[in-house]
Each structure stands twice: as structure tokens, then as C-alpha cells.
Amino acid sequence: MSYSNLKKMPKAVLLALISLGSIILIVTIGPMLIKFDPIAVDLSAIYQAPNSNHLLGTDSLGRDILIRLIYGGRVSVVVGIVSVIISTTFGTVYGALSGYVGGILDSVLMRILDAILALPNMILVIVIQAITGAGLANLVLVIGFTSWMQTARMVRAEVLSLKERDFVKVSKVLGTPWWRIITKHLIPHALPTIIVVSTVGVGHAIMSETTLSFLGLGIPPHEPSWGNMLMGGQNSILRGSWWITLFPGLAIISTVLSIIYIGDYLQVVLNPKIKSEG
């Protein structure tokens, strides 16, 4: 991205990019540089307010909030990115097949999709996660396979429009296999929509991880994640230990808001209709 493009970018979006980039950099590199154990207990340092030894304070077990925030951020970001890769892949294939093949298959796939969308998403996630059990792998899979519906609808709408284009009709006449038409022509042309939906999906996935961990259904309690830190600090608010929930809460809000701003900007930049209207 050139300097001139950066100058044209809205300040809120630029700030969001800097904020999100900094968070990802810290949670990625931080654990490599910091040699402290995020689950180490120090009963001599419980409920310490932010100070020179513990910059963001400690929790009820004397664990350093900053260390846990960095390690927990890595878990939350991994959950967000990997689950979106799963949901985007499945949703793209589902929507592309439905839109391109059409007919009975399209009707059946859309009825299945409508039935799933009729269920409140978070309740569906909570029920499935409660059945499968806590754990990082289960959490990623559950969020990934309950978040593909919006991608499928958007991709199907794009494919329905694209398959009427001349280049697709020519490919059919030339005998190009249907799967090659989908992978070579339709999905690449639908990439702007897929990118926007995926970007916003990362924020939703992080919020889902936070909610499930807060309810005790996500990451095991002893392992750091932003949701676990909120859950672990909820009782500490009453005794005045505000820092235990404040900093993970700020991390979640900053990350999700940054992703939302970036997603909205990408939608304007990548969608010609919105761009022309603006």
C-alpha cells in the first residue's frame, strides 16, 4: 500500500489498522520474548494493583495480568482466524455449489440454510460446545462450523449474478468442467465479497470465544484467553480489583472495533456499487 493511499484512508480506519496490527504483533511475538509462565501462581502477589513489578497488576492467584493478556490474546486471535478459515471455506463451497448448480439442489441447500439461520446462533454454539466439551480444538471447530451461513448466502448471490456473464457461458460451451468454472472463474470474481465477510467474521469469532469462555464452555479455566480473564475477574470487581477485567475488556473492544472499521472500509473499496454511490 502506497503512502498516497494511506493519506486518502480515513483516520479512523488508519487508526484501526495500526491498533489491530500492533495487537497481532504483540500477541504473536510477545510469547517468544517473554519467558514468564502465564499460569504460574504467586500467592504472595495476589490482587496487586498496577505497579512497577506488574504493569497491569495481578489476579486472585497472583498471576501477572500483562503476561496473561499477551498469551491469552494469542489464543483469542488464533480462534478468530482459524475458525474463519473453516467457515469461509465451507461457506464459499456451499454457496458456490448452490448458486451455480441451481434447481433442486439449490432449493434443498437453501432450505437447510434457512433452517439453521432460524436458530439463534449463539444458543446453537453454546449447546454444541456444551455437548462436545471445552478445549481449543473443539472451540475452533464449533465456531467455524456454526458461522458459515452468511458467507454461503453472499457467495450464492454473487455466483447467481456471475454465472449469467458471457465468460461463464463461453466456458460452458467450450466444455469446461463445472468444478473448474467455479474455482477458476466464479470464486475469484467473488473474492471481494468473501474478503469483507471473512474480515468481519474474525471479530464475531473472537466475541464468540469470549462469550463461551466467560460461560466456562470455551478454553479451560487455567489456560489464559481474554474470555477466561473476564470470567476469572468478574468476582474481583466487587472488591475493587478493577484492573483484572478492565484490560482484557479493552483488548477485546479494541480488536473487534478495529476489525469492524477495517471490514466496513474494505466493503466500500472492494464493492464497486458502494464505491460509486459514495
In the beta sheet, which residues pair with residue 64? Answer: 58
Residue whose C-alpha is closest to residue 244's, from 78, 54, 102, 53: 54
Confidence of residue 268 (pLDDT cuts 50, 70, 90): confident
- Least confident piece of the model among 109-113, 119-123, 137-141: 119-123
CATH 1.10.3720.10 fits 10-32+58-271, yes or no: yes
Domain ranges of the chain: 10-32+58-271
Q: What is the pLDDT of residue 7?
A: 62
pTM for this entry: 0.82
Mean pLDDT of the chain: 86
Residue whose C-alpha is closest to residue 209's, from 138, 131, 113: 138
Q: What is the pLDDT of residue 84?
A: 93
pLDDT in tens, 7-61: 677 888 899 999 999 999 999 898 888 778 888 888 888 999 999 888 999 988 8
pLDDT in tens, 205-263: 888 888 888 887 878 877 888 888 888 887 788 788 899 999 999 999 999 999 988 98
124-137: average pLDDT: 82
How many percent of the chain have pLDDT more than 90? 32
Q: What is the pLDDT of residue 263?
A: 86
Q: What is the pLDDT of residue 4?
A: 56
